[in-house]
Amino acid sequence: MGQTAWGWLIAIYLFLGGLGAGSFLMAAFFELSGWRYRSNFCPVALVGATVSGPLVALGSALLIFDLGAGRMQPWRIFYMFTHFSSVMTWGIWILTIFIPLALVYGFLELMESEAFLKGFVSARAPWLLRNARTYRRWVAAVGGVFAVATAVYTGVLISDVGPAIPLWSQPVLPFVRIPMLPILFLISAVSTGMGLTFDISATIADPEIQRRFRIMDLSHIFLIGLENIAIGLLFISALSAGGAAAESAKLVLYGPLAVVFWIGVVLVGLVFPFVVHAYAIGRGQHSLTSGVGSGVGIVIAGLLLRYMIVYAGIPAAL
């Protein structure tokens, strides 16, 4: 298959970075739009805020585990903060800022719903509880910017290798020099985040919530459409570019990665959730199975998308 330097650890990292960022964005959106206050309990805000930090931190741990000398001599990791022409240096900075913000956000959410934590905080730092809403909104707003940065940078990281791996650096459109992967990864980050926080958690916590936020079904369908267009354009441009880019596309479309792509990404991650959400719009509500099912499908497909992109990266021919 494609390049061999980066493998599944990197694929999982790219996925977890996107999933964590997307979950944060969902929570922040429910916070800042005021939607979370439509009921006294908002599973999207709670789950989104609490899982995002740990997910991204886990991904970063995998990233460190994939290092050579940096794993054996961890102080070398500090050198990675120093070279700003490298997207990896930006990434390290983004993660260093985003992970603590997300962990703080998770704490602020948990603090109010966990009785134990609430008691602890009100005894030690009552001011924190009094102004919780203000703090939460600030963390959501600032963290939201870094969440977008996290999701986008994972795509910039691998598209910045330029001519070395033509599939990764395919432009959005011919003559538009913006690479497609950062955009595709951002779309996928938001939709996996939605799948995790809304489809899965909200349906389990309170199936009634679906009636209140039917816009989520529409958003899913919109994102699925966008992702379809992005993936379609990526492979059309790869095929028409010829060379290693076209080889990569063939690997995915009818080569060894075809099962991952057609069944994992397309069927499980696009067609099935589309049908489920379209049906839910007609019916006015999800069932527990359809909500959880589509969420799980979207999240799994998000992982397989990263896996497929990483392994389909064929180096330019010499």
Partner 1 sequence: MSDTKLSRRTFLRYLLGTGAVAAAGGVGVGLAPAAQTALARTDAPKARYALIIDTTKCVGCGACVHACNIRNNLPEGKSYVHIVPKDDRGRQWFLPVQCQHCADAPCARVCPTRATYRHESGVVLINEKLCVGCKYCEVACPYQARTFDEERGVVDKCWLCLDWVSEGKDPACVQSCVLGARIFGRLDDPNSEVAQLVASGKAKPLHPEFGTHPAVLHYIIEGE
Q: Would you say 152 and 182 are in contact if contact means Cβ atoms under 8 Å apart?
A: yes
CB of 237 to partner 1, least distance (A): 17
The Cα 201–Cα 205 span in angstroms is 6
Q: Confirm or reject binding of residue 177 to partner 1 (CB under 8 A).
A: no
Q: Confirm or reject binding of residue 79 to partner 1 (CB under 8 A).
A: yes
Helix (H) or strand (E) holding 173: strand 171-173
Tokens of 179: 């690479």
Q: Confirm or reject binding of residue 217 to partner 1 (CB under 8 A).
A: no
Stretch that binds partner 1, among 14-22, 38-46, 138-146, 160-168 (CB under 8 A): 160-168
Q: Confirm or reject binding of residue 223 to partner 1 (CB under 8 A).
A: no
What is the per-residue binding string for partner 1 in 84-123, x denoting contact by CB under 8 A?
-xxxxx--x-------------------------------
User: Cα 239 to the chain's mean position, in Å?
Assistant: 27
Helix (H) or strand (E) holding 92: helix 87-113
Q: Confirm or reject binding of residue 171 to partner 1 (CB under 8 A).
A: no
Q: Confirm or reject binding of residue 69 to partner 1 (CB under 8 A).
A: yes
Stretch that binds partner 1, among 30-38, 65-73, 141-149, 209-217 (CB under 8 A): 65-73
Q: Confirm or reject binding of residue 315 to partner 1 (CB under 8 A).
A: yes
DSSP code per residue over 131-167: THHHHHHHHHHHHHHHHHHHHHHHHHHHHTTGGGSTT
Q: CB count, 10 Å around CB of 206? A: 14
Q: Confirm or reject binding of residue 3 to partner 1 (CB under 8 A).
A: yes
CB of 142 to partner 1, least distance (A): 24
Q: Name residues whose C-beta falls within 8 Å of residue 128's C-beta, 6 or more positions apart in sequence.
A: 111, 121, 135
Size, binding site for partner 1 by CB under 8 A:
34
CB of 20 to partner 1, least distance (A): 20
DSSP state of 269: I
Residues that bind partner 1 (CB under 8 A): 3, 5-6, 66-72, 76-77, 79-83, 85-89, 92, 158, 160-165, 313, 315-316, 318
